[in-house]
Amino acid sequence: MNATKKAKPKAPDQDVKARLLVVEDEQDLQDLLRYNLTREGFGVTCTDRGEQAIRIVNDRQPDLIVLDLMLPGMDGLEVCRALKSDKGTAHIPVVMLTAKGEESDVVIGLEMGADDYITKPFSPRVLVARLKAVLRRNAGNGTSEDDQEQIHHERIQIIPDRHEVRVDGNKADLTATEFKLLHMMARRPGRVFTRQQIIDALHGGMAAVTDRSVDVQVLSLRRKLGEASDVVQTVRGVGYRYEDG
């Protein structure tokens, strides 16, 4: 998505026809996933082993991988690391399936390049919505690829070339760092950013920036967004995300 704005929009049903690989060793859950995702029109391949998942990804290049973290043998994080460190597969989005209490693994996975995660137990409806959101983001729809493009959600308007943010039409007085933080997250709504990813993006991975200072920035940003502050959501134990409605 570059240069000309005249480029034809992608087919709206693109995400419905996507081919998914589900990596899950619990048979009941694998069946549930296959049933619900097939019903949505996705092409679904399932496996219960990490090693096999990597072979399938290399052979078939699915559009998205749903990856359980707790697998026998090669676990989900190892699979994620292998896929994300291989140029041939790094571009394929990975959505992790995790159990409660695995937040530290989620953070590791996100920092390896996984796109999202879903905590078990989950509702199939929520799962499908999240997968579609990841597919849309990955296709460039629902994402502002052009970093100078204005972003306008219900209450919040971001005007990059003026470094300006308006809430309900009123200018919010953000620092340069707060602006960068909001803009980065708003360009990928729904995406969870870990504190380390935020530090890297804001400060180029530099020096003495702590997790705590990210929290302080977010706190200050929220204060300045006033009644619209709930667009910046805390994801417990993991990080932050921008969610409009």
Is the CB of 32 or the CB of 70 nearer to Ca ion?
70
Q: Which residues bind Ca ion (CB under 5 A)?
A: 25, 68, 70
- Number of residue whose CB is nearest Ca ion: 70
Beta strand 232-235 with 239-242: parallel, antiparallel or unpaired?
antiparallel
Nearer CB in complex with Ca ion: 29/128: 29
Structure tokens at 201: 């993006």
Measured CA angle at 27 (ends 24, 30), to 5 deg:
50
CB of 23 to Ca ion, least distance (A): 9
User: Residue 76 or 190: which CB sits closer to Ca ion?
Assistant: 76
The rounded Cα 235 to chain-centroid distance in angstroms is 12
User: 116 near 134, Cβ under 8 Å?
Assistant: yes
- Residue 152, strand partner residues: 157
Shortest distance in whole angstroms from residue 165 CB to Ca ion: 42
- In the complex, what is the shortest distance from the CB of residue 221 to Ca ion, in angstroms, rounded to a whole number? 37
Q: How far is the CB of 192 from Ca ion (least distance, A)?
A: 21
Separation of CA 174 from chain center: 25
Buried b (16+ CB within 10 A) or exposed e, 11-33: eeeebeebebbbbbbeeebbebb
Judged by beta carbon, residue 15 or residue 68, the one nearer Ca ion is 68
Q: How far is the CB of 25 from Ca ion (least distance, A)?
A: 5
Q: Which is nearer to Ca ion, 37 or 185 (CB)?
A: 37
Nearer to Ca ion, 68 or 115 (CB): 68
The answer to whether 195 touches 214, Cβ cutoff 8 Å, is: yes
In a 3-state reduction of DSSP, which class is residue 207? coil
Q: How far is the CB of 42 from Ca ion (least distance, A)?
A: 21
